[in-house]
Amino acid sequence: MNPPPYEITGKIMQQVAAISEKIGEINAAHLNKPTLELRKKNRIKTIQSSLEIEGNSLSNQQITAILENKRVIAPQKDILEVQNAIAVYEQLGKWKANNLNSLYKAHGILMKGLTTHPGRLRTSGVGITKGSKVAHLTPPPSRLPSLMKMLFEYLKYSDELPLIKSCVFHYELEFIHPFSDGNGRMGRLWQTLILQEYSEVFEFLPIETIIRNKQQAYYHALGVSDKTGKSNAFIEFMLSVILEALEDLLSGKKKVLTAADRISYFKDVAGNKWFTRLEYLRHYKDIATATASRDLKVALEQAILLKKGEHNRTQYKYQ
């Protein structure tokens, strides 16, 4: 296996360490599992931002209307792009990041009705232009099958950190440009999928919104990586975007947990083991003993927990 060309710089290592620290803070604050309302809001922001980068004109409000099956007055192509994006993001959990066929199937849904051969490799050469100049000559169609095979072998077999893999993959997909159209949105979609498999924090984190706000820097990082022949600049840029998205999540209002939230989240801590009220309290340091007792009592009544022992020797276990 020949891995894509890049180097792990000191800056990249610092960024990875900072991101890991932020993920830990987010998990501790229970912000890794957003409410259904926030999930919907962030998914809409993700779709709107990723498509706006490609020239789509629809707003968050219009995308919300499409989700709710309401009539929207807009160019048909823009509406179809949104409908396709909604469909593919709804199936995000079905795709396997290191499976090439999953990529082709996702592209088939994302670009249905928008390109001649959705879900299939391009059959002609493409030159990426900026103004009147050709900024990037893509590999010829004859090389695409082997290049995609090597890229997915890297994704599947390399022991590189998933954070770095996701950035490398995003860049390499842009460089290879395997499809006649939709490569940008596929690169961003697949990086989200790789990150989601690494940590659930990323499932509804609108990274694409920050990319859209830094669109010039995004394309500049792609260009620098093209010129140097390695993806360092793009890795550093994308890690900075990921870190900013995590910081934005942490800087928001701290999630207020309900009793149902606390019981649900504690299952990840307790697993299949018996635990005591004291252990429950140690995890939720900001609640009173009486609140913990009520949580556990309700969970018992709802048959979520089993119980053994009495008084100070009472223990609980998830069913």
The pLDDT tens digits along the chain (319 residues) read: 688 999 999 999 999 999 999 999 998 887 877 777 878 889 999 999 999 999 999 999 999 999 999 999 999 999 999 999 999 999 988 899 999 999 999 999 999 999 999 999 999 877 665 655 655 678 999 999 999 999 999 999 999 999 999 999 999 999 999 999 999 999 999 999 999 999 989 988 889 999 999 999 999 999 999 999 999 999 999 999 999 999 988 887 566 778 888 898 888 888 899 999 999 998 888 788 999 999 999 999 999 999 999 988 999 999 8
Annotate 299-312 with b (16+ C-beta within 10 A) or e (fewer).
Answer: beeeebbeeeeeee
Q: Can you tell me whether residue 279 is helix, strand or coil? A: helix
d(CA 210, CA 244) in angstroms, rounded, equals 8
Q: At what angle do helices 183-198 and 100-110 cross, to 10 degrees?
A: 130
β-pair partners for 23: none
Residue 6 contacts residue 230 (beta carbons within 8 Å):
yes
| Rounded to 5°, angle at Cα 197 from 282 and 153 | 145
Q: Which domains does the chain have, with CATH numbers?
A: 10-251 (1.10.3290.10), 259-318 (1.10.10.10)
Name the region of 95 (left: φ>0; alpha: ψ -120 to 50; beta: rest): beta
β-pair partners for 13: none
Question: Which of 30, 20, 53 lies closest to 261, judged by CA?
Answer: 30
